[in-house]
Chain A
Amino acid sequence: MRFWIGMAITFAAACGIVAFVNFDYLFFAGYTILMFVMLATAWNILGGYAGYVNFGTPAFFGLGAYTAAVLYKAFALPLPLQILAAAAMSGLLGLVAGVLTMRLRGIFFAIATIALVVIMETLFINWRYAGGATGLQLLRPALTPPFESYIKMLFLLMAGMVLASIALARYIERSWLGRGLRALRDSEEAAECSGVPTLRLKLFACTVSGALMGACGAPMPMYLSFIEPASTFNLNYAIGALASPMIGGTAHWLGPVIGALILSTLQQIVTVTISSEMNVLVIGVLLVVFIVAAPDGILGLYKKIMAAIRK
């Protein structure tokens, strides 16, 4: 119950900010941060709960973005429908990746996801209708009231999607699905022997994770009014989606959220202060340090500290 109250309060806060604050930069930066929270949460469903590392976040994210862009260009589809279509396409891609590597070990799934990014990127570079390498410039549709600016609407939309993803992740985590995924992560063989439908759970996690990433990507073309392959399939999404849960903690839905909030805010600040590469280096080092020294992430550290205090 507390969770739902927390969700409601957060959403109300977002609405409040949108209604009363008139500082566009906040919404631009905030949108990006929220986006990474959603990507991290989506990643964690497969990576944290099931233990299948996904390097290919840009493939799913980018496919979602391009699906939305192409549908908008062809049919002037409204944004909610774009999001649904994007989720469907990326979910399908997740399913395919899962099926291809079904009976193989986790490392092959990880390599397959890298392959997906390159193939997706090559596909869209060569598709003239979607802009090809040149990219596509898109004009935003007219605003619907009560929103005063498009970016505010996008911000609120993304806030809503983030909260929905978190709720979904939490539901999966606490249900039999979560238990099955955890069993699968700990030992696939043992899980199978105990009757856990590992194959179906794997495919389920792949699909859901992919779908959420695709949905996250869908508003991107509207955010930029522009889409082109190189930046859409950028490695940064892979890094952010992977590092955030690893740093925040993979076992609980709060982990990716904390990790993404910290990392993404850090990135936003560094983009306009120090150099960009230094920022990636910092994340890389943090990632390695946490993986080695604090395998349960910040949440794990917090638990340890709490336990030590109680003693």
Chain B
Amino acid sequence: MRLLSFAAGILFSALALAQQGPIKIGMSMPQTGSLGAGGKAALLALHMWVEDINAKGGLLGRKVELIAYDDQTNPALTPAIYTKLLDVDKVDLLIAPYGTVPTAPIMPLVKQRDLLLMGNFSFQANHTVKHDKWFNNAPWNNASSWSDGFFEIGKKQGAKTVAFLAADNEFAQNLANGARELAKKAGLQTVYNQNYPPATTDFSSLIRGVRAAKPDMVFVMSYPNDSVAIVRAVNEIGVGESVKLFGGGMVGLQFTPIMESLGSSLNGIVNYNSYVPGIKYPGIEEFLQRYSKRAVEAKVDPLGFYLPPFNYAIGQMLEQAINGTKGLDQKKLAEYLHTHEMKTIVGPIKYGPDGEWAAPRVVQAQFRGVADKNMEQFRQAGKQVVLYPETYKTGEVVAPFEKARK
């Protein structure tokens, strides 16, 4: 059956359609593979935006249609998928997949065809190709924007030494390089510096090594599975009395199922986030309530603090650009996005010339008073105390790390 519709799809696309069809937005989204869990939640948010827009009458008087394929977090599949989107499905606009790894291979394609591409939570995907129609929606721009907060907090605590533990993948390594630079500039001494392969499940040996080095700060850059294993290992073995600050760049500790299953072992960890309850972005609380109901039905991340609002915001930005330029011309849209500040449910967004946020807004928050097996507790403000940036601060850090865990 699918084969027939596939063939039919090609046939119909080949026969030129009348202009008054729906506006088609195309993308691939990892729905399986390492980023699959996040990707599914993100996709739900995008679908919600499409429904909201169509309920309001669509854009430019036309309905909006989203075409999304699963790229399995595999960068080898994305060029073929995006070429199909462009040549067969004939989409009008492109959104990038979630994550840097699936996005990187399509950068040359969009540059060659001079197309607008909305980046989706990727990190420095444009720094080689330097495409002028790239707009990444993520609260960071370069590596230091991510780690600044963590090091600031550490400095205030008088930290002199730092340990780095990073996964061997594109995101963590990019982040790690920037963080190491920062550490050097801040005059911190690196006493431990280890990378680990992505499939590592047992961290007791690594945590043992960290403990033996007696660092003041431990900066961890990990992906969801490793983040969980690391938190558990810390719980089992401990990192030692010397550590004032632990965490920084652990992906996954923002995903609801993980937060729920780790429970009290999270206490004391200072980690990045894009949004925690208590931060007042206009419209976000209402969105999250609606999202939560849909998420439970769809069996994806029920709280949805991390990716969904940002994906919804991508839709909002496209909406503002299309309405602002009254058309779908890629050049004009790009110009609009470069020159305007857009209002979204994750706050106001303005872009720098490289297509990243001009002003980063990476939150560093400390888990406090988290109980086991309780998902609802995270809805209240206070379980993640915001320590940075100053504008959103809701409390002071509790250090040393071992003390904050009690």
A residues contacting B by CB (< 8 A) are 23-25, 28-29, 32, 122, 125-126, 132-135, 137, 139-140, 223-226, 228, 230-232, 234, 268-269, 271-277
Contacts and interface: CB of A to CB of B under 8 A. Distances in A.
B70 interface: yes
B168 A137 contact: no
B88 A125 contact: no
A108 B92 CA distance: 53
B15 to A, nearest CB: 14
Nearest to B130: A139
A12 to B, nearest CB: 25
Given A139-B128, A272-B6, A275-B32, A226 B104 contact: yes
A307 to B, nearest CB: 32
Interface string B2-21: 11011000000000000000
B392 interface: no
Interface of B: 2-3, 5-6, 32, 69-70, 72, 74-77, 79-81, 83-84, 86-88, 101, 104-105, 107-109, 128-129, 167-170, 172-174, 195, 197-198
Contact of B197 (A122, A224, A226): A122
Given A224-B75, A224-B76, A231-B75, A272 B198 contact: no
Contacts of A25: 80, 83-84, 86-88
A150 to B, nearest CB: 8
Contact of B2 (A29, A135, A232, A273): A273
Given A132-B168, A133-B170, A224 B79 contact: yes
Contact of A276 (B32, B101, B104): B32
A125 B197 contact: yes
B275 to A, nearest CB: 27
Contacts of A132: 168, 173
Nearest to A27: B83
Contacts of A135: 75, 101, 104, 170
Nearest to A132: B173
Given A271-B77, A275-B32, A137 B104 contact: yes
Q: Which of A134, A225, A232 has the most CB of B within 10 A?
A: A134
B37 to A, nearest CB: 15
Contacts of B169: 133-134, 230
Nearest to A224: B105
A232 B80 CA distance: 16
A24 B69 CA distance: 18
A274 B5 CA distance: 12
Contacts of B88: 25
Nearest to B75: A231
Contacts of B195: 133
A269 B173 contact: no
A281 B219 CA distance: 40
B105 A133 contact: no
Nearest to B127: A137
Contact of A228 (B75, B83, B129, B172): B75
Contacts of A232: 76
Contacts of A231: 74-76, 101
B31 to A, nearest CB: 9
Given A132-B173, A223-B79, A272 B84 contact: yes
B128 A137 contact: yes
B173 A24 contact: no
Contact of A273 (B3, B72, B80): B3
Contacts of A122: 197
Nearest to A140: B108
Nearest 4 A/B pairs, CB to CB: A133-B168, A225-B108, A273-B2, A137-B128
A25 B9 CA distance: 14
Given A125-B197, A271-B80, A273-B6, A226 B75 contact: yes
B249 to A, nearest CB: 14
A126 B197 CA distance: 9
Given A28-B84, A275-B70, 13 more contacts: A25-B84, A29-B80, A29-B84, A137-B107, A226-B105, A231-B76, A231-B101, A234-B74, A271-B80, A272-B84, A273-B5, A275-B32, A276-B32
Contacts of B3: 269, 273
A251 to B, nearest CB: 31
A231 to B, nearest CB: 5
Contacts of A126: 168
B174 A134 contact: yes
A32 B128 contact: no
Given A272-B69, A276-B72, A32 B173 contact: no
B197 A139 contact: no
Contacts of A268: 80
Nearest to A231: B76
Given A133-B168, A276-B72, A28 B129 contact: no
Contact of B83 (A24, A133, A230, A273): A24
B32, B77, B105: most-surrounded residue (chain A CB, <10 A): B105
Nearest to A220: B76
Nearest to B197: A125
6 contacts: A25-B83, A25-B84, A133-B168, A133-B173, A225-B108, A273-B3
A29 B75 CA distance: 15
Contacts of A139: 108, 128-129
A138 to B, nearest CB: 8
A192 B108 CA distance: 54
Contacts of B174: 134
Contacts of B108: 139-140, 225
A125 B80 contact: no
Contact of B80 (A32, A226, A234): A32
Given A133-B169, A228-B170, A276 B70 contact: yes
Nearest to A31: B80
Nearest to B76: A231
A277 B32 contact: yes
A28 B3 CA distance: 19
B82 to A, nearest CB: 9
A92 to B, nearest CB: 25
